[in-house]
Structure formats: structure tokens, C-alpha cells
Structure 1
């Protein structure tokens, strides 16, 4: 499935480039993630995801496979296996940054996600809506001064229900209002 996100953040292009290319900081800012080892462009880590009463932990590895400071683009590829199950996830994230002005940056993320196992019941539309508030939190954490104070504790799982439900309700509310609020 493919997901796209666009943000404009109050941080300079240089700040955002440094944040996105710091793999430990990316791990601190992404909800539920923990980066345990970084060697050059490669990393090892885990991601805890809570789906209702079930918590899944994916152990994985990844690499920054592309980085071009001149165009402010980067690519991260990672793969993980469910710690206590048969699930697997592969992800590729393409980042494109653009200067709006000296203190504002445009951030575009294009994600390709291939999940096998329990979370596969989320369809593409639901996954996009579910990811919006999580990626918003992630990008704004990176835009912060150090990324440590606004990222959650390393052992706090990514709670799909708690993190996503308010955004889904608001999104569906707008959809329903759009359908029934039109004058004929």
C-alpha cells in the first residue's frame, strides 16, 4: 500500500535535513519505535504496535539507501519480523524537503508499506487516515529543537486505537458532512 503525507513545519530546511538524516533521532520521534544500533547508514531496532488489546513487536533492520543533500531527498528502507508470530513488514520511505522561507520547510513523505500478518485487515484508505495523526506527530517532533522531549518513551507502543481514533472520527465526520451537507 502507498501512503503520502505533506506538511509545512516551522523549522529551517537545514534543521529538517539534519533531523531526517539522524537515524537515532528518527527512531526517538517515531511513535513506538526504538533504534538500538546505528552503523553508518544502517540501523537495527524495534517497533511496538498496539492493535486493541494485542501488542505486536517487530524486530528489524534498515538502511538509508539514498541521500542527496543538494536536492534534500532521502530514502530509508527497512524490514521487520513479528517477534512472537509470523507477521512481516517491509517499508520504503522517500523524503523530499523544500525551503519555503528561512524558517519554514515543506516536508513530503511517500511511503510504500507491505505488511503480512495481523495488521493486514487495515485497507489502504483506512491506513492513510490512520497514519495521518502519527506522521504529523513524527514530523513535528523532528521539527522541534532536539527531538528527545517530544518523542514518546522508547518502550511506549504505537497505540493504533488511541492515536488514530480521534483522527478517524474527525475524518469520517467531514466525509459524512460532505455527503449530507450538500444542498440539492
Structure 2
């Protein structure tokens, strides 16, 4: 349990205690637009801006408040969006890099960054722009030789740092009384991607993730975060294995940590899945929809999406196929294109792929058991521990092999 206090004294009354797995509706003004979002008390402002309001100009780097990539303005002062809980921003005025200017009406800082080639890879650019705006608006008398120290709160990762300082110095000289205010702040419709969002938009009817309220599954158009291909040899004959795949309720129970909560029309199913990876435990509410069911080919394809209260979301395109194997058994193949966003995506593509592959390996074992007994034994903590240890072992092994390959290459040279 946590007590949610407003960040701005006197603008709102303190809220009651909120459980860690509950959500809170907050209203704030973002780039001139008042918006209401529903967030868990532990969600930081950076994730809410990116995942729920679609303002992806705020970049997340270290998420420890060190690199400065996530710098935004909160009530006119620079703040790290990764260190600020969204619930602290009740009634606050937020300005992100999107509010600084538009392509048609760029802010002088944006124009200077372009003129001095201060962009390079662009990852630090939003943080540099917002930090330099804060510096020049609050301390216009700053001297040129002070800029390296004053701008050191945002870390540049490439060779464009001199250009950045030159751009800031150019604007400093051009506007000795302080830089103009943001040019793209005004009432508009925000891009809502999560619970709530939009100009004056209210929270959804229930405090559950948006994916759980969706009526159809929509997969992203971009490349997946991980591609999983798993082939498993099962003891049971193909017809008994297909009987499990054809029963979506039983099939869902074979997925580690998953269960159905509601059967809808159109071969759609609501459910919940809990995934534990060491100390990280994610609980997803979501929707699955069967898009192909071929009994003759023993092939099933379904799309699934889910989100948890912490801002993580996942979508997947899953294809399961069974064919007769040797000795009267079955060869079960599973292919999945997995899309991850939010906290769960921070594991990285390689680790996400390893975890997904091991989950499907456990799934195949459960399918074999269900084909034999008609039921599934829920995996205990020992299975979760094996998942963690196996993933870590494979990841370390891959790093060691990569290092050995690099050493051999250097020796040949």
C-alpha cells in the first residue's frame, strides 16, 4: 500500500492509500492539453507519456536519473520523467519536446541544433533541447565558457557534443533576455495508447488495462521484439494432441501461468497470464482470437494481446502445428512473433526470446500431459526457478561464445 501525494502543494488534496496493484485516475496538462489518464501508483511519468499519450519524443535511457534523456518541464522546471511518479503530477503542467515547436514553426533551439549539426544519432536530442531550454529561460546570463558544465546533466553518446554546445551558445547570444516560450502548446487531441488519454478524456469504465477491454486483437505493423520457433517431440499420438489444441480452455491452461476468464463470440477469449522472472512478476489481462483452425492439418493460429497495470504490454501471433512423429508420438511445432512494450521490453530482444522459448518448451510438456490425462498440473516455484536459471545460463553462454569468437578473430589478424 502507498499514500499518493500530489506533487504540487495546494493544487489537490492528498489521495487515500492505493494498493500497488490498483490504479489511480490523474488529471494533468500536457503540452497545453488537459488530459486524464489511469495509472498504477508506481508508474513513472516517462512511461505514461510514451505508452499512454503517445509522446515518444521523451526518450528513456538509464531510468536512474543519470543520463538526462527523459528531461521534461514540470511547472516550468526541468525534471527527470523517469524519477517522477505520474501520480505526483496531479494538476501539474507538463511540457515535452513535442511542445517545444513544430516542423512548420520550430523553436529557436531546434533551428540552432539543425544549423550546427547538433543531432547525430538523435537519442540525446530531446533531453538536450529541454535541458538547454530550462537553462536559457532561467539563467539567460550564463556565460559561454560555463555551458559545458551547465549542460553536463545530459549525456551525449556520440561525437556531436561540440555542435550541441555551439547551438546552445548561438541561441544564448541571440536571446540575451531569455529564450521564447514553447511554440506547440495548445488544446489538441493527444495520441492515447493506454488507459485514458486524450483531451479531457476520462478513465475507462473499469480500472483494468486497455487490452483487457479491447474487442479485437490488433498486432503492431513493425518487426517483432522476438521470434520464437520451438519443435518438441511428444509421446502422445497426434489426434490426442490435436484434441488439446482444439480445446482453447485446456490449451490456455497449458500455457504457463495462463487461464481463461471469459469466452466470447467469434472464437475470442479473455484471460489472464502471470509471468514471473526472478523478482519481476507481471500479470497480464488480455484477449486472444483464433484466426485459423484446420483439423485436417492439425494447425491452429491465434492472435493474443495483453497488458499489465505497470504499463507493460505484449502482442503475439502464434502458430501451433502437430504432425505424426516416430513411434506413434507427435512432433509439435510452435512459432510466435512476439511484440513487447513497456517495462517487459527492457529485458532486451535476446533475453525476451530466451524467456519466450522456454515458456513454449514448458507449454509443449503440458500439452503432452493434457493429451494423456485430460488435465494439466500447474507448475510450481521450482519450474519458475528453472526458467530463470536456464535463461541466465543460456545468456551467459552466448556472451562467452561471442567473446571467444571475437578473440579468435583478433588472433587471426
Provide TM-score, normalisation by structure 2.
0.39
What SS does the aligned partner of 1:96 have?
Answer: strand
> Residue 129 of structure 1 aligns with which residue?
354
> Residue 166 of structure 1 aligns with which residue?
389
What SS does the aligned partner of 1:71 have?
Answer: coil
Say which of 275, 279, 283 aligns to 1:49: 275
- The answer to whether the Cα contact below 8 Å between 1:97 and 1:106 also exists between their aligned partners in 2 is yes
What SS does the aligned partner of 2:243 have?
Answer: helix
Which residues of 2 match residues 104-183 of structure 1 at below 5 A? 104-144=329-369, 145-146=372-373, 148-152=375-379, 159=384, 162-172=385-395, 175=398, 176=400
Question: Do structure 1's residue 13 and structure 2's residue 217 form an aligned pair?
Answer: no
User: Which of 1 and 2 has higher RCO (CA within 8 Å, sep 6+)?
Assistant: 1
Question: Do structure 1's residue 70 and structure 2's residue 289 form an aligned pair?
Answer: no
Q: Which has the higher strand share?
A: 1
Moved more, 85-94 or 6-15: 85-94
C-alpha displacement at 1:9, in angstroms?
A: 0.8
What SS does the aligned partner of 1:57 have?
Answer: strand
- The answer to whether the Cα contact below 8 Å between 2:334 and 2:360 also exists between their aligned partners in 1 is no
Q: C-alpha root-mean-square deviation of aligned residues, in Å?
A: 2.8
Say which of 10, 26, 29 aligns to 2:251: 26
Q: Partners in 1 of 2:231 and 2:332 — Cα distance?
A: 6
Larger Rg: 2
- The answer to whether the Cα contact below 8 Å between 2:310 and 2:343 also exists between their aligned partners in 1 is no
- The answer to whether the Cα contact below 8 Å between 1:141 and 1:147 also exists between their aligned partners in 2 is no
Give the gaps of 5 or more residues in structure 2: 1-225, 405-410
Q: Partners in 1 of 2:247 and 2:325 — Cα distance?
A: 22
- The answer to whether the Cα contact below 8 Å between 1:89 and 1:114 also exists between their aligned partners in 2 is yes
Provide TM-score, normalisation by structure 1.
0.81
Q: Partners in 2 of 1:57 and 1:172 — Cα distance?
A: 24
CA shift in 2, pair 1:66/1:119, >3 Å: same
Q: Partners in 2 of 1:163 and 1:81 — Cα distance?
A: 25
